[in-house]
């Protein structure tokens, strides 16, 4: 028998209605977006695409990096869509300033530039995404929604460029570290790897930790995946 006090039909109906209302309100909360591009025609085009979606609201537009920082500090938008090249303060510099003053905002770079170094600079500055201006309306809207959920967004064709750019800055793995990762990829434990290579288990762990640091990962699976992507493992 339940210990909860009996509730009337009216109380139950009110509770269910309240829960549904809260869920709908949370789901329908508009995503606020700030646009920043030094070309008015581009801003107007992006604004028209985004405003056609009921759950997205453009709260401001900026024509320079400096203006984008000022508006972001005042408006605290959910998403800031930034052009990469905008004169004195480019999108990467603006990203750093915006995130320091409005940490709750997510910055997505929208540009025509797709060099490895540009993508890496943006990501390292804290940008949540990097899109090309040739992206479709659906891709742009999905990117805004994904960034608002805390996800990283990237035009699919740019993913290899980002990986290459990151790989250039990573120190090379030693032959022993690669050998250890190769055996890890085969499912061997640290103890089994030690026996196979005639080294102690502690030494195996040391090689793994060094490999983690060089690959920028924190576990065995991620290390193997990173090594595979870099072509270090067969």
Quote the domain boundaries for residue 178. 170-229
CA 29/CA 187 separation, integer angstroms: 46
pLDDT of amino acid 186: 94
What stretches in the chain show pLDDT beneath 70?
1-28, 116-117, 157-170
Is the domain of 73 the same as that of 130? yes
pLDDT of amino acid 69: 95
pLDDT of amino acid 167: 54
pLDDT of amino acid 205: 93
- Summarised one tens digit per residue, pLDDT across range 12-41 is 444 544 554 444 444 457 999 999 999 999
Is 10 a member of any domain? no
The half-sphere exposure of 37 on its side-chain side, counting CA atoms within 13 A, is 18
Is 37 a member of any domain? yes
Is 19 a member of any domain? no
Is the domain of 85 the same as that of 142? yes
Q: Which two tokens stand for residue 154?
A: 């990237």
Is the domain of 160 the same as that of 208? no
pTM: 0.59
Measured from the Cβ of residue 185, the count of other Cβ atoms closer than 10 Å reads 17
pLDDT of amino acid 155: 79
Of the three residues 132, 147, 167, the one that is the final residue of a domain is 167
Is the domain of 70 the same as that of 132? yes
Is 3 a member of any domain? no
Beta strands in the chain (DSSP E): 31-36, 56-62, 79-82, 106-111, 129-132, 153-154
Is the domain of 154 the same as that of 181? no
Is the domain of 116 the same as that of 219? no
pLDDT of amino acid 7: 55
pLDDT of amino acid 148: 93
């Amino acid at each position: 028998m339940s210990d909860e006090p009996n509730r009337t039909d009216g109380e139950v109906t009110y509770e269910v209605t309240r829960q549904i209302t809260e869920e709908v309100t949370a789901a329908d909360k508009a995503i606020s977006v700030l646009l920043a591009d030094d070309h008015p025609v581009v801003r107007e085009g992006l604004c028209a695409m985004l405003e056609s979606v009921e759950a997205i609201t453009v709260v401001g537009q900026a024509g320079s990096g400096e203006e984008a920082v000022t508006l972001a500090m005042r408006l605290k938008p959910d998403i800031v869509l930034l052009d990469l090249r905008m004169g004195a303060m480019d999108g990467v510099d603006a990203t750093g300033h915006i995130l320091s003053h409005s940490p709750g905002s997510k910055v997505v770079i929208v540009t025509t530039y797709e060099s490895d170094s540009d993508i890496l600079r943006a990501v390292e500055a804290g940008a949540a995404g990097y899109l090309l201006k040739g992206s479709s309306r659906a891709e742009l809207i999905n990117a805004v929604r994904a960034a608002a959920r805390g996800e990283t967004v990237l035009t699919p064709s740019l993913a290899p460029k980002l990986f290459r750019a990151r790989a250039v800055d990573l120190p090379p793995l030693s032959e022993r570290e690669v050998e250890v990762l190769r055996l890890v990829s085969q499912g061997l434990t640290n103890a089994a790897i030690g026996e196979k290579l005639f080294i102690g288990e502690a030494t195996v762990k040391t090689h793994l930790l060094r490999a983690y640091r060089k690959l920028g990962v924190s576990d065995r699976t991620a290390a193997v995946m990173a090594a595979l992507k870099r072509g270090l493992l067969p």
